[in-house]
Amino acid sequence: MHDTVSLSELDIFCRSALAAVGADDATVDAATRAMMHASELGVDSHGVRLLPHYLSALQGGRLNRNPNLRVVGGFGAVEVLDADHAHGAVGAYHGMQRACELARQYGLGAVAVRNNSHFGAGGAYALDAARRGFVGLAFCNSDSFVRLHEGAERFHGTNPIAAAVPVPQGEPWLLDMATSAIPYNRVLLYRSLGIELPPGVASDGQGIDTADAQAADMLAPLGGEFGFKGAALAGLAEILSAVLTGMRLSFDIPPMAGPDLASPRLLGCFVMALNPEAFLDRAAFDAGMRRYLDRLRGSLARQGGRVMAPGDREWSVAAERRAKGVTLDPATAQAFAAFAADHGLTAPIG
């Protein structure tokens, strides 16, 4: 089987599969957009390989296939949204849309989302704001899998931080990072591919570093010998997405993989949009971003190196994947084929 498929084929299959398990139109669209964002930009750990898990969570009842999102608090430029145990992308996209609407009115908008779930790549939501002309920020926590600096137990989740900034005549500046050394989904991907982990990014059950993806029991915080910085950044994401929303802290969240796929996980997330025109005129903002990025990309690189702005690698991968498609890892290809056979769908095959 040749498992390189076009982005459009993947998009169609994701939508068909989600609809096949009874997800409503908003869930089908948001979940597919979030996964395709990651797969297109090369963030495969958070791309379409998550589809089989999402299908199981929708069928099991963890995720509400017909959520009723509603505003339950806030005032002025702040809104609190109850996502009714929706797929995480539903709450996050809707929250960012509202943040942008508030920012258009007030100069900034902040939305705390309650009763959400795993939202995948945080960059999808920050980028959504940048595409609308705003600076976007997105934070989420997740179940414990990351030790503290010099710690020997799981404490924080991978707790992503994402930011995107619009750029005139170009793709947005885009940061999307886990506060762990690598995301946990990359461990799962490397297990599927049989690849060793880089040094210093994961630990066994005693907190001792390991390169064996099968033996990895917890992740290290971002920063290596200076991992206290990564642990503190994880704490920032924890406070904004869990404490500020009244949702579960990382060490209280049930594992993403189950075995319980029936009970909601009670995750929160936090999104914010800033309107550049509330601070200065758009032309001055655009000129500042253009000069900053032109100077950055033109700065001296060490021998054999290349200086890139955040997002440059992703935009390069996206251009290639739009032309050539995406190669599915074996486990994902097999899961797609099995689901398609069970539900009368056509699996995406290149």
What is the tens place of the pLDDT at every residue in 113-151? 999 999 999 999 999 999 999 999 999 999 999 999 999
* The pLDDT value given to residue 1: 44
pLDDT digits (tens, 9 = 90+) for 52-66: 999 999 999 999 999
- Flag whether the pTM goes above 0.85: yes
* Residues 336, 332: Cα–Cα separation, whole Å: 6
**Domains of the chain, start order:** 4-288+310-343 (3.30.1370.60)
Q: Is the pLDDT of residue 239 over 50?
A: yes
Backbone angles phi, psi at 325, to 5 degrees: 90, -170
* The pLDDT value given to residue 224: 82
Q: Which of 84-98, 211-225, 268-282, 284-298 has the lowest mean pLDDT?
A: 211-225
**Higher per-residue confidence, 243 vs 189:** 243
Contact partners, residue 200, CB within 8 Å, separation at least 6: 181, 209, 220, 224
